């Protein structure tokens, strides 16, 4: 029997979510419905996937919670911050993702989740105009107020552990600047000096979470924890961080389909991706400065899978373009089109068209669950710093760009990383044998 090296998942796990919109209310409602046996958590790796452990006659396939100690859905306790004051029930109804019949059975639970005032700066999301916002003297005060929220939540609920998850909007792009982002000391000074264009509100949430002993997950493409100061802080506090940007629709397709082209040694001339969506995320991304943050995230996927230096004949000169268009009639029902121009034997051209009509929050909700449970697992296993094994769930996986590290974006390589991390935390040997 393998020796487990993870502290047991005793007691309750608090999940504090930044943003109480379509994604987070779909996540919360689904968990609550599943607890009552009224829905299935489809799409969740932690609830459905099985991993092979051992080889030969010792080989067996086990669910994650049979390999390592993990909380059950009954152990989860939710809280949220949001710029709009409506409770989780009203927000779930307003989001129009789920049908009322799938919300009503857990109405009482959702009504109790009233959003805490958000740490917010309208300059970072100009399209949002909610008034459930903290009054802050400066970024340091903003951070202190979030820390107090976390302490109060722990005290009021009696949860044993807390994970903080960003499921709010994409902020405007903040270029990493070592003067402000290079060290903990530099970041703290920037907060105290109120350098608002270098310290995003999301950085205040992340700093507060880590200082209060909570792992932090960045579910948007924001720079937040993707800076050396946050890497240093996560090492100092011995807490895991992960990000960035939930891998839901088009990038999920890209990270799974690009390996077909690369593995089959086909050439690429161009890949054009465009999306329409009409939810709050689409509204925010209609602002060019916010779209820039998303664009950086979405463009990075292809370039690390189909690499010109590895195959100059095939990938030295392709054109890659990504577009997102705000289209209110679709609301949360996102549609992604991909036009892929490839070439084969003797350079002859071919085309691939992909049209993915997906539901953004339906795809994101299981990612929220898995990321929260796996980050809690990493914490109990004593892991800290950037959790690269969670790249499977993320569009633009964090990596140490100061050392020219290339992130793994290949979906199936990411899956091997995920499986091996869980094997190791369960006391089993990591391996790459084909399952």
pLDDT in tens, 309-330: 999 999 999 999 999 899 999 8
For the full predicted model, state whether its pTM sits above 0.85: yes
Checking if the pLDDT of 202 tops 70, the result is yes
pLDDT at 292: 80
pLDDT at 1 over 60: no
Mean pLDDT calculated for residue range 32-45? 98
Q: Which of 29-33, 68-72, 248-252, 277-281 bottoms out in mean pLDDT, i.e. has the lowest?
A: 277-281
Query: What's the pLDDT score for residue 147?
Result: 98
Is pLDDT at 232 greater than 50 in this prediction?
Answer: yes
CATH architecture of structural domain 13-246+362-425: 3-Layer(aba) Sandwich (3.40)
Q: What percent of the chain has pLDDT over 90?
A: 87
> What pLDDT score was predicted for residue 8?
96
Residue 288: per-residue pLDDT: 82
- Please report, for the chain, the start and end positions of each structural domain, with discontinuous segments joined by +: 13-246+362-425, 250-359
In our burial notation (b when 16+ CB lie closer than 10 A, e otherwise), range 229-241 reads: bbbbbbeebebbb
Give the per-residue pLDDT at 319: 96
Query: Higher pLDDT residue, 48 or 404?
Result: 48
* Residue 298, pLDDT score: 67
Report whether pLDDT(2) > 60: no
* 89-103, 174-188, 281-295, 406-420: least confidently modelled range: 281-295
Mean pLDDT throughout 386-396?
Answer: 96
Q: What is the mean pLDDT of residues 17-28?
A: 97
Domains 13-246+362-425 and 250-359 agree in fold: no
- pLDDT one-digit tens code per residue, 356-366: 999 999 999 99
The whole-number pLDDT of residue 295 equals: 75
CATH architecture of 250-359: 2-Layer Sandwich (3.30)
What does the pLDDT average to over 114-143? 96
């Amino acid at each position: 029997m393998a020796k487990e090296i993870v502290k047991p998942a005793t007691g309750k796990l608090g999940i504090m979510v930044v943003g109480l919109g379509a994604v987070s209310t779909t996540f919360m409602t689904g968990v609550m419905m599943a607890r009552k046996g009224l829905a299935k958590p489809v799409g969740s790796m932690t609830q459905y996937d099985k991993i092979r452990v051992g080889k030969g006659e010792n080989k067996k396939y086990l669910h994650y919670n049979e390999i390592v100690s993990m909380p059950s859905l009954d152990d989860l306790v939710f809280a949220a911050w949001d710029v709009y004051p409506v409770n989780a029930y009203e927000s779930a109804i307003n989001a129009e993702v789920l049908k009322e019949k799938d919300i009503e059975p857990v109405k009482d639970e959702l009504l109790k989740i009233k959003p805490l005032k958000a740490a917010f700066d309208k300059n970072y999301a100009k399209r949002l105009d909610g008034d459930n916002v903290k009054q802050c003297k400066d970024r340091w005060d903003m951070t202190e107020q979030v820390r107090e929220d976390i302490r109060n939540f722990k005290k009021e609920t009696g949860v044993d552990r807390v994970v903080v998850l960003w499921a709010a909007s994409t902020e405007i792009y903040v270029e990493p600047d070592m003067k402000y982002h290079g060290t903990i000391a530099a970041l703290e000074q920037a907060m105290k000096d109120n350098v608002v264009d270098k310290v995003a509100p999301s950085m205040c949430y992340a700093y507060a979470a880590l200082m209060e002993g909570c792992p932090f997950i960045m579910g948007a493409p924001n720079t937040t924890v993707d800076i050396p100061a946050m890497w240093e802080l996560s090492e100092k506090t011995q807490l895991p961080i992960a990000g960035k940007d939930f891998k839901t629709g088009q990038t999920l397709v890209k990270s799974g389909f690009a390996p077909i082209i690369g593995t089959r040694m086909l050439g690429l001339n161009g890949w054009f991706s465009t999306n329409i969506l009409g939810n709050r995320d689409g509204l925010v991304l209609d602002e060019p400065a916010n779209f820039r943050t998303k664009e950086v995230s979405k463009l990075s996927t292809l370039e690390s899978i189909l690499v010109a230096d590895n195959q100059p004949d095939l990938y030295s000169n392709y054109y890659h373009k990504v577009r997102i268009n705000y289209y209110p009639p679709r609301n949360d029902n996102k549609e992604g089109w991909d036009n892929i121009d490839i070439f084969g034997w003797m350079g002859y051209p071919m085309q691939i068209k992909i049209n993915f009509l997906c539901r953004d929050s339906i795809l994101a909700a299981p990612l929220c669950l898995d990321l929260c449970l796996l980050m809690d697992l990493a914490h109990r296993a004593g892991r800290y710093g950037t959790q690269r094994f969670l790249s499977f769930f993320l569009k633009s996986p964090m990596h140490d760009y100061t050392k020219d590290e290339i992130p793994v974006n290949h979906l199936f390589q990411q899956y091997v990383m995920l499986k091996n991390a869980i094997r190791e935390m369960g006391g089993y040997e990591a391996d790459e044998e084909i399952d």
